[in-house]
Amino acid sequence: MIARTGAPAPEFTTKAFHQGEVKTVSLADYRGKWVVLVFYPADFTFVCPCELASIAQRYDEFEALNTEVLAISIDTVYAHQAWHDAELAYMVERDGGIPYPMLSDLGGPIGMMYNVFDEVERVNLRGTFLIDPDGVVQAMQVLNADVGRSVDETLREIKAYQESRETGQVMPPDWEPGKKTLTPGADLIGKVHDVWKVGE
């Protein structure tokens, strides 16, 4: 199974480094919560620590949205631990360093299921997958290794999909809580310009 939007997220079980311990983690453990699955190329690199620290710094915002973050690379859990203790813990202004699990995808089998594994470089690209409480992929983005992701945009997408799930409304571009939503239906066909303007 390959991940795609609107379909069940490929299930997996793997080892993770989390809060000083090595644990076994399954995607199914988080059913009933939103999950942001964050693939990154490798420990002890350059953009990756900036991304993981930026997410960690705003982890309370993810928690407030009933969302767990799972970071995953091809490194072992012991490499994760060494990297965390040597660098990441110093980049985060919170006790304990990175608050979310750091998963091991040794050899890339999980990255292959999510179509982010680079067969030439033997690492996972920067893939972000938003998975809803029913285990369905709602959003996915894959970036090449040189550019980091936007935490603001990830949080915005979570809020938008949660609002849509709760209300049945659809969200125009750049939607934020408090902005106008759209009610899909026959009455709106060819009439969007009457109810929504660019920049609103």
Q: What is the pTM of this model?
A: 0.96
Domain presence at residue 191: no
Tell me what pLDDT residue 1 has. 85
Tokens of 59: 């982890």
CATH of the domain at 148: 3.40.30.10
Q: What is the percent of the chain with per-residue pLDDT over 70, rounded to a whole number?
A: 100
50 is catalytic: no
Q: Which residue range(s) make up the domain with 149?
A: 13-167
Domain presence at residue 199: no
pLDDT for residue 200 is more than 80: no
Number of domains in the chain: 1
Q: Is the dihedral of CA 116, 119, 120, 124 positive or negative?
A: positive
Query: pLDDT per residue over 165-199, tens digit each?
Result: 999 999 999 999 999 999 999 988 998 988 888 87
Domain presence at residue 87: yes
Domain presence at residue 81: yes
Tell me what pLDDT residue 60 has. 97
Domain presence at residue 78: yes
Contact (CB, 8 A) for 38 and 69: yes
Helix residue ranges, H only, the chain: 47-57, 59-64, 77-83, 89-91, 109-113, 151-167, 192-195
Residue of 27, 48, 70, 137 marked active site? 48
What is the band of 22 on the pLDDT scale with cuts at 50, 70, 90?
A: very high
Mean pLDDT within 12-36:
98
Domain presence at residue 138: yes
